[in-house]
Structure 1
Amino acid sequence: MTTKENEMPGHTRPVSDERDGLMAFLEQRRYLLKLTGYGLTPEQLRATPSASELSVGGVIKHCAYTEAGWIDTVLRRPMSYPGKHDWDQHFDLDEGETLEDILAFTDRVAAETARAVAELDLDHQVPIDKSVPWNPQEYDHWTLRWVLLHLIEEIAHHTGHADIIRQSVDGATAYTLMAAAEGWPANGFVTPWKPGVPAS
């Protein structure tokens, strides 16, 4: 992952309005999640070194599929990525699947989300699937605004998982990875991550 062209600091940029704010925070959450895979070998991408059965690669992939599913629901269309990838299988990497593959998929989904959000009002109604036990039964619809807030929540939640898994793999943490990916010089706050160098 190289980020010089899309450089994004640790905090979300200033925002101009509600729609811009929702999209900016969603983009920032995705970026921080993608950073958890920075510099991993194929074996490390699949590693499950923590108490969880999850891998960094699996968490990134799951979040992209989850976002795609929500946008399909927003647009009331069939699943864009049907097949064997049921919700409980999103965490599994296919044989030969690489970090580049997963990040490219994440970027495709992000572009689809941006197109949908640009074309719809934030009050656009999104039907609630009442067959799912954790969805409220007393309401008939979400809004696009709610869906974007939920995606921010979902990706932030799973970024915490990925952070712990990544730190269990090689000791790297969010800001050391960000510093390495963006080419920050060493400073009094953070030392950029380097492969094979124990985190300090």
Structure 2
Amino acid sequence: MDDKATLHRYLRTRRADLLAKLDGLSEYDARRPLTPTGTNLLGLVKHVASVEAGYFGEVFGRPAGLDLPWFAEDAEPDADLWAAPGETREQIVELHRSAAAHSDATIEELALDEPGVVSWWPEERRHVTLHQILVHMCVETAHHLGHADILRELIDGSAGQRPGDANLSDRSPEGWAVHRARIEAAAVAAEALSAGR
């Protein structure tokens, strides 16, 4: 597998993992903010889809043709990071799929050294290649998938990329509670040691 195919495979996998974080959730749980800055699952999907459309679209002179009003100059700040009541989950998931399909076409049709221009980046960094943008979007998607992992665990305790994820220790809910208590005790003990220095 060549470099482009490897990066594309990683991007596709992270996209699917991000969408899977919505599976089985109520409208409320998919949308509710779980951090002081309002981070929420459906907003992460909307954001990743929106920026992917720009990076694999405008950057290479191949606009995706998607309606992204939250990026208009007069849009509310951070409107791409949450879903308004009138925006359905289905619309946002379809946006994600459409952006991904457009990106996939760009990736498949262009060479890794294809030049592009990221007009919203500083002048000294805005001239890029498809390779750079593929790496950028793999990192961007994985970054937000990490957020989604934590949010989903806070919502219903689901952890890992899928049920039975081999990257997680095989513990019962009670075993996780004991493990968490041990970590909490270590943090308290370290704080006490630090205060006594």
Richer in helix (by share):
2
Work out which of the residue numbers 134, 151, 155 in structure 2 matches 1:148. Answer: 134
Q: 2:36 & 2:18 partners in 1: Cα distance?
A: 19
Aligned-pair CA distance for 1:97: 3.3
2:40–2:151 Cα contact (<8 Å) kept: yes
Q: Which amino acid aligns with 1:89?
A: A
How many percent identity over aligned positions? 30
Q: What's the counterpart of residue 97 of structure 1?
A: 87
| Per-residue deviation, residues 46-86 of structure 1 (Å, max 9, x unmatched) | 11123331110011111001100112223314562345221
TM-score, normalised relative to structure 2: 0.73
Aligned length: 168
| Per-residue deviation, residues 10-65 of structure 1 (Å, max 9, x unmatched) | xxxxxx11111011000011111112111110011111123331110011111001
Q: Which amino acid aligns with 1:63?
A: V
TM-score, normalised relative to structure 1: 0.72
Deviating above 4 A after TM superposition, structure 1's stretches of 4 or more consecutive aligned residues are none
Q: What's the counterpart of residue 104 of structure 2?
A: 114
Q: What's the counterpart of residue 179 of structure 1?
A: 163
Aligned-pair CA distance for 1:140: 5.3
Q: 2:125 & 2:27 partners in 1: Cα distance?
A: 44
Q: Which runs of 5+ in 1 are unaligned?
A: 1-15, 192-198
Decide whether aligned partners of structure 1 residues 101 and 190 sit closer, same or farther in structure 2, where only a CA change above 3 A counts.
farther
SS in 1 for 2:124: coil
Q: Which amino acid aligns with 1:99?
A: R
SS in 1 for 2:38: coil
Q: What's the counterpart of residue 11 of structure 1?
A: none
1:50–1:164 Cα contact (<8 Å) kept: no
Q: Which has the larger radius of gyration?
A: 2
Q: What's the counterpart of residue 61 of structure 1?
A: 46
2:55–2:118 Cα contact (<8 Å) kept: no
Q: Which amino acid aligns with 2:117?
A: P
For the aligned residues, what is the CA RMSD? Answer: 2.7
